[in-house]
Amino acid sequence: MVQHLKHAYIAGTGYYVPKKVLTNKDLEKIVDTSDEWITTRTGIKERRIAAREETTSVIGAKAAKQALKAAGIKADELDLIITATITPDMPFPATSALIQNIIGACKAGVVDIEAACSGYIYAISMANQFIRTGEYKNILIVASEILSRITDWEDRNTCVLFGDAAGAAVIRESQSKSEIIAAYLGGDGAYKDLLYLPGGGSLNPVSKATIDKRLHYIKMKGNETFKVAVTQMSLSAEKVLEKAGMTKKDVSLLVPHQANLRIIQAVQKRLELPDDKVYINVNRYGNTSAATIAVAIAEAVQEGKVKKGDIILFVAFGGGFTWASALIRW
């Protein structure tokens, strides 16, 4: 007997951003930079910074509760929680386990994935497979980052880029035409030295030497990263459209990774999409790694910019390097 695969869809979204706002003018007092320099090169005007008592699991749980409410289900109905983060509360237990405890999802399995800025789309792809095969019915994906704690506030080239935020989505079996149509995942470890955090793992475990060398902060070669990001985000978008049998003309809204306005505009140009078909909030939050798309789509839904039946294109690029794309029928 042939078993037909089910369809999965995004049943609800949510997000949380910390209250503290760090503007470009504030950064002028910390490092040798200017509002004009930051805005021209990145499009970022401000970013959010988590309070001391806020952790990745705490802000992730706040986004998760919103998503559960939007989806109309309770935490104890969840079968699995997948958290995408490069800033876990601690190496273990998994941040998903900590979120599970906070929200009371006592029946859910828990797992974290580390794909940097592409993590949210990787989580969508994983959840989609579990739903389609019938393994699980209700999955929560969370993308939560507190990058301010791995940002070198003495490095004028990187400290202007990053912020803190969390987004979440509930993935369920679809009973309508709404569905996760296709996803594409990619990566190349040969670029590992262009964007990375060298300290704290098995290669450079914590020591006085690693602290003195400031190895526990994000390191990035900006120009090289920019070039690969534009190329791979554009190719990822094209690949997932081809996989779905669609074209760029079918796209209702592009929700890209919010790392840099110039990267977004370059990808937009290659896809020949008008401004009203691209969602941008990098100016308000900066780069929040895995959380950027999760926050952006939740905002777009709340703002009424996403309608039933719309074709939404997610595309991301992150350290590793990793890249990914997903096509959603809302």
Cβ(67)–Cβ(168) under 8 Å?
Answer: yes
Which of 117, 128, 159, 260 does the annotation list as catalytic? 117
Quick: pLDDT tens for 168-205: 999 999 988 999 999 999 999 999 999 999 999 999 99
Backbone angles phi, psi at 203, to 5 degrees: -75, -45
- Under the banding of pLDDT at 50, 70 and 90, the label for residue 6 is confident
Identity of residue 324: A
Q: From the candidates 7, 159, 257, 260, which is the catalytic residue?
A: 257
Domain 181-329 is classified in which CATH homologous superfamily?
Answer: Thiolase/Chalcone synthase (3.40.47.10)
For the chain, list the strands marked E by DSSP.
Answer: 8-16, 20-23, 46-49, 80-84, 109-113, 138-146, 164-173, 179-187, 195-196, 219-220, 253-256, 311-318, 322-329
**Among this protein's residues, is 260 annotated catalytic?**
no
Length of the chain measured in residues = 330
223 catalytic? Reply is no
pLDDT in tens, 239-263: 999 999 999 999 999 999 999 999 9
* CATH class of the domain whose range is 8-176: alpha beta
- The catalytic position among 24, 128, 138, 287 is 287
288 pLDDT exceeds 60?
yes
Catalytic site includes residue 4: no
Q: Where are the domains of the chain?
A: 8-176, 181-329
